[in-house]
């Protein structure tokens, strides 16, 4: 980080800015959030990791993933903490570090299932609002700009064609995982379908979100566009009030 960037970073943190990044799976939210956090000196909070941690707890229990009452009872007996790390958040489930257990297909699918229930969402939203209340954060998820922080200072909705998102996911998985690109794209479409069509806070852009479609952009270009947007918000806040 050069001197200008670090000055910008402390400026952002001192202003307690809240940046919301929403969008479907594989759109590049985590990469963009990580870069923005580093560039502007913000805390990076991945809300998807919290749903994943609760999904892991449900999978370890005997509560079926469609039993809303059972899941609600389980949630009442669960603590989830997010700690910021270098590359990704460290996730503590009832005090256990489960960070390395959350990215497989079973937990991914379960997270999308448990997150449809209003009681689970209300609990998560409360936790996320507490985490972000200090400000100076970039928070990524599905409902940050619409529900968690409707008054966020900057809102970005990151999207891309399902085939492109699926291929990015496939490339991330690497050759060790025995799946075909078609399988990854099919799973991603099924998750999109659930995330976009659930009754409670479905995935959709906030009215005042800036839409970034990364279908034909490199991730570097997307990161640059997001940085410019946040820098513009900061400059706006900096401008003297004409009245």
Note the residues at the interface with ligand DC (CB under 6 A).
Answer: 25, 47-49, 51-52, 111-112, 115, 141-143, 191, 195
* Closer CB to ligand DC, 133 or 232, in the complex: 133
Only one residue has tokens 């078609």, namely 182
Distance between alpha carbon 182 and the CA centroid of its chain, in Å? 24
Distance between alpha carbon 39 and the CA centroid of its chain, in Å? 18
**Minimum gap (Å) between residue 62 Cβ and ligand DC:** 22
**Minimum gap (Å) between residue 220 Cβ and ligand DC:** 21
**Minimum gap (Å) between residue 160 Cβ and ligand DC:** 14
**Minimum gap (Å) between residue 64 Cβ and ligand DC:** 18
* Closer CB to ligand DC, 8 or 147, in the complex: 147
**Minimum gap (Å) between residue 178 Cβ and ligand DC:** 21
Pairing of strands 90-93, 80-83: antiparallel
Beta strands in the chain (DSSP E): 18-22, 43-46, 80-83, 90-93, 96-97, 137-141, 154-159, 210-213
Pairing of strands 90-93, 96-97: antiparallel
* Closer CB to ligand DC, 42 or 158, in the complex: 158
* Closer CB to ligand DC, 31 or 115, in the complex: 115
* Closer CB to ligand DC, 11 or 205, in the complex: 205
Give dist(CA 36, CA 129) in Å, integer: 20
Give dist(CA 229, CA 210) in Å, integer: 9
């Amino acid at each position: 980080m050069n001197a200008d960037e670090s000055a910008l970073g402390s400026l952002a943190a001192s202003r307690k800015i809240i940046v919301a990044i929403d969008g479907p799976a594989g759109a590049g939210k985590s990469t963009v959030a990580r870069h923005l956090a580093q560039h502007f000196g913000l805390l990076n909070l991945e809300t998807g990791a919290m749903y994943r941690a609760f999904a892991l707890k449900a999978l370890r229990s005997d509560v079926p993933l469609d039993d809303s009452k059972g899941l609600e009872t389980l949630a009442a007996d669960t603590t989830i903490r997010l700690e910021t790390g270098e590359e990704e958040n460290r996730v503590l489930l009832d005090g256990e570090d489960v960070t390395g257990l959350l990215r497989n297909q079973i937990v991914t699918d379960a997270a999308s299932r448990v997150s449809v229930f209003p009681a689970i969402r209300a609990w998560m939203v409360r936790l996320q609002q507490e985490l972000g209340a200090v400000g100076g954060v970039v928070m990524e998820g599905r409902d940050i700009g619409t529900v968690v922080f409707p008054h966020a200072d900057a809102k970005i909705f990151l999207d891309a064609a399902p085939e492109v998102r699926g291929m990015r996911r496939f490339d991330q998985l690497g050759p060790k995982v025995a799946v075909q690109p078609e399988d990854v794209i099919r799973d991603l479409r099924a998750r999109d379908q659930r995330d976009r069509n659930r009754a409670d806070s479905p995935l959709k852009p906030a009215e005042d979100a800036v839409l970034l479609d990364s279908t034909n952009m490199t991730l570097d270009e997307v990161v640059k566009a997001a940085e410019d947007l946040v820098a513009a918000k900061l400059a706006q806040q900096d401008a003297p009030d004409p009245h």
